[in-house]
Amino acid sequence: DAMVIQNPRYQVTQFGKPVTLSCSQTLNHNVMYWYQQKSSQAPKLLFHYYDKDFNNEADTPDNFQSRRPNTSFCFLDIRSPGLGDAAMYLCATSIDGNSNQPQHFGDGTRLSIL
Amino acid sequence: GQNIDQPTEMTATEGAIVQINCTYQTSGFNGLFWYQQHAGEAPTFLSYNVLDGLEEKGRFSSFLSRSKGYSYLLLKELQMKDSASYLCANQAGTALIFGKGTTLSVSS
């Protein structure tokens, strides 16, 4: 089935050690999003790609970077994770970002910082 | 701004009907989504409203009043599996702005 796949489901890293989370999609959607969701909070958009165009949210820390080497894959890089970065990271896609198209979410990667 | 407000928690019993309300700021409105999120899982799409009125989809219905900046999700014939967080989200450009979610607990 077409889907949004995130790997790994659970990731543990050390304070300050770079970590990369991955997302792939078989939906051939143009737009890919990364959200951060902390416990009991709303998903917060970090950035998104419309095709190859990168769109960073104004309040996303510089510590967070993203890469989209092709249509199917998108990566979230955290250069120096801090304890406050422990969260669920959700990848989502949409066909073209238009308002009447729902976003399709992956199962998320839960990141823990030691 | 895109403040979205919804109740933090609600409880209900199996077979009952529950209404989850959501209010949002009307500036930049492009459509109102409802998502369901079970603990530890990804949000899944439930409904979308862009015009005023009620959209019915099986046991779930969603209502929108654009002039009031108000929406609700109506869940009928509640089942235990409906225990989850329900997220209201406003489309802003190509991004979704989510509320904090309403945690619904269904008991037998």
Q: Say yes or no to pLDDT of B6 above 80.
A: yes
Query: What number is the average pLDDT over the span A40-44?
Result: 88
Q: Say yes or no to pLDDT of B2 above 70.
A: no
Report pLDDT digits (tens) over A81-104. 999 999 999 999 998 877 677 889
The whole-angstrom separation of Cα A57 and Cα A1 is 31
Local confidence band at A35 (pLDDT 50, 70, 90 cut-offs): very high
Q: Say yes or no to pLDDT of B27 above 90.
A: no
Q: Say yes or no to pLDDT of B31 above 70.
A: yes
The string over B37-70, giving b where at least 16 C-beta atoms fall within 10 Å of a residue's C-beta and e elsewhere, is: beeeebbeebbbbeeeeeeeeeebbbbbeeeebe
When the pLDDT of each residue in chain B is averaged and rounded to a whole number, the result is: 91
Q: Residue A92: what pLDDT?
A: 95
Q: Residue A1: what pLDDT?
A: 63
Query: What number is the average pLDDT over the span B55-69?
Result: 94
Q: Residue B1: what pLDDT?
A: 44
Q: Which of A21, A90, A94, A99 to mutate to test the interface with B (most CBs of B within 10 A)?
A: A99
> Position of tokens 């080497």?
A69
Q: What percent of chain A has pLDDT over 70?
A: 97
Q: Which of A103, A109, A112 to mutate to test the interface with B (most CBs of B within 10 A)?
A: A103
Helices (H), chain B: none
The whole-angstrom separation of Cα A94 and Cα B21 is 26
Among the ranges given (A7-11, A100-104, B16-20, B68-72), the one the predictor scored with the smallest mean pLDDT: A100-104
Chain A nearest-CA distance from B42, in A, is 5
Q: What percent of chain B has pLDDT over 90?
A: 74
Q: Would you call B87 an interface residue with chain A, using a CB distance cutoff of 8 Å? A: yes
Q: Say yes or no to pLDDT of B92 above 80.
A: no
Q: Residue A2: what pLDDT?
A: 58
Task: Identify the CA nearest to A44 among candidates B85, B22, B26, B87.
Answer: B87
* CA dihedral of residues A56, A57, A59, A65 (deg, nearest 10): -30
Which residues have a Cβ under 8 Å from the Cβ of A97 and sit 6 or more positions away?
A: A30, A31, A48, A50, B93, B94
Cβ distance A105 to B95 less than 8 Å, yes or no, reads no
- Pick the more confident residue, A69 or A103: A69
When the pLDDT of each residue in chain A is averaged and rounded to a whole number, the result is: 93
Residue of chain A nearest B90, judged by CA positions = A99
